[in-house]
Structure 1
Amino acid sequence: MKPSKANVKAHLDKIREIIKANKTAKQANLIRLLNPVLRGWANYHSHVVAMNAFDRVDHEVWSMLWRWAVRRHPNKGARWVKEKYFKTRRTRNWVFTVTEKQEDGTKRQLTLLQESDTPIQRHVKIKAGANPHDPQWAPYFESRWGQKMLNSVRGRGKAYRVWLRQAGLCSDCQQPITMNTRWDVTNVVHRDKSEHCQRESAQRTIILR
């Protein structure tokens, strides 16, 4: 599977519209507008065969930004435009970046995201014999769930909030949980044992151990 041609075209059209609508915007503001669009599309397709599509988008975006920069300075040469808008960072040339001065006097560097830097993470298929209703398979599904949490910003934030809620301690042995200790994620479903209700309660708790 890979991004369709129509999807890539729609993505490029959206980027093109943003650049055209901000012909006189500052470089830093343009980077702030483009980065969320580039990051969101790349993350969405990071589980399929998308590296060629990422490379194509990066090339097309570079062409759009070059025309944007040249149009702003019709009386300047190509070398001057490159030195103003495109820098060299480590081993990479033609990086669309700018150093912005903050209100407190400090400087912050803003760099346009390149989709080709997004790592491709394949979806791991579930084992054929795995049964989510069988208690013997509970550790397997908990391991998958924990790994899925670590692979997303939202999941890492959830794990961090649980870690704070547990005061950084294991819920079983009450030992500190650090970066150097092994930890697992367990989903505990509380059952209502009353005579009038035998259904599972909707309350769920995440435990790190």
Structure 2
Amino acid sequence: VGKYKSGKIGGKASRLIGHKTHIKPSKKAVKAHMEVIKGVIKQLKTAPQSALISKLNPIIRGWSNYYSGVVSMETFNKLDYTVWQMLRAWTASRCGEASYEKLKNYFHKGTVKLSNGKERHESWLFMTKDGFTLWKHNWTPIVRHTLIRPDATPYDGNWTYWATRKGQAIDTPTRVAKLLKKQKGKCTWCGQYFTPSDLVEVDHIVPRSLGGKDEYKNLQLLHRHCHDDKTALDNASAVSLTMEQSN
């Protein structure tokens, strides 16, 4: 590829390597994953549809999340088609030869809301009548890994950079990433930057026990020890308020 899309070797001797690397799930990993799904479908051949969905969802979501940082969308689409064929066979084994009338009791068209808040229209959903839906591989968004700057090190004292980068990590929950960005990498209790090794927790500014809502404007990100201090103070305030009301 050209210089604008070429990968590069970092460090002082940084240079273009003339191509970019595409990492994909290996054939061995895909085959092993499909064997697990096949085994579950076979094991729950006579179980209710909801039981099958409950068993498959964590398997599909976990595997998809693991490979969400590489070039996986093509693989995800192929897996979803294979799963559809397996579930079609599962349906036929329960009610004889597959037909549209039989399949529509298990498969539906519809719109789903993804974890990123976007809605997506699907031509088939393996879904119960009350809306319990099987997760698809290609509903997992691909999030590219952000390379560390060549001159950056956890010991350089640039906590602004490292705290911001923490929010870009693949395994960082969306809520934590948004709060890191909102707070510019600082703990709102002690005012210090979050370091790469810090344990962080989401806190309700107004505790739920005192009527606080679980919404972003009532959330903040704190160090674990800061969260412990605030929780102790909130509990003391709650006890004091209860005593005043009883008097």
User: TM-score normalized by structure 1?
Assistant: 0.70
Identify the residue that residue 123 of structure 2 maps to in structure 1.
93
Could you tell me which of 115, 134, 137 is aligned with 1:115? Answer: 137
Could you tell me which of 147, 163, 173 is aligned with 2:203? Answer: 163
Identify the residue that residue 48 of structure 1 maps to in structure 2.
70
Give the alignment of 1:1-209 within 5 angstroms. 1-74=23-96, 78-90=99-111, 91-100=121-130, 109-135=131-157, 137-148=158-169, 151-152=172-173, 161-164=201-204, 167=205, 179=216
Select the structure with the greater relative contact order (CA < 8 A; seq sep ≥ 6). 1
CA change 1:23–1:69 in 2 (3 A) is same
Structure in which a larger fraction of residues adopt strand:
1
Distance 1:154 1:10 in 2: 32
State whether residues 91 and 98 of structure 2, in contact with CA within 8 Å, keep that contact through their aligned partners in structure 1.
no
State whether residues 166 and 172 of structure 2, in contact with CA within 8 Å, keep that contact through their aligned partners in structure 1.
no
Pairwise CA distance, 1:96:
0.7
State whether residues 3 and 53 of structure 1, in contact with CA within 8 Å, keep that contact through their aligned partners in structure 2.
yes
Pairwise CA distance, 1:110:
0.5
SS in 1 for 2:104: helix
User: TM-score normalized by structure 2?
Assistant: 0.60
Q: Which runs of 5+ in 2 are unaligned?
A: 1-22, 112-120, 178-198, 207-214, 228-247
After superposition, the CA RMSD in angstroms is 3.1
CA change 1:180–1:40 in 2 (3 A) is same
State whether residues 47 and 123 of structure 1, in contact with CA within 8 Å, keep that contact through their aligned partners in structure 2.
yes
Distance 1:96 1:36 in 2: 15
SS in 2 for 1:126: coil
Q: Following superposition, which runs of at least 4 residues in structure 1 exceed 3 angstroms of deviation?
A: 146-151, 153-156, 178-181, 203-206
Pairwise CA distance, 1:62:
0.4
How many residues get paired? 169
Pairwise CA distance, 1:145:
1.6
1:154-208: CA deviation from partner (whole Å, max 9, x where unpaired): 957x86x4423xx35xxxxxxxxx8469x8x686xxxxxxxxxxxxxxx9658xx
Distance 2:91 2:100 in 1: 12
State whether residues 82 and 94 of structure 1, in contact with CA within 8 Å, keep that contact through their aligned partners in structure 2.
no
Identify the residue that residue 193 of structure 1 maps to in structure 2.
none
CA change 1:44–1:54 in 2 (3 A) is same
Pairwise CA distance, 1:150:
8.3
Distance 2:27 2:171 in 1: 31
Distance 1:26 1:153 in 2: 33
Distance 1:71 1:57 in 2: 21
Distance 1:205 1:60 in 2: 48
1:105-137: CA deviation from partner (whole Å, max 9, x where unpaired): xxxx211111111100000001011121122x1
Distance 1:56 1:150 in 2: 24
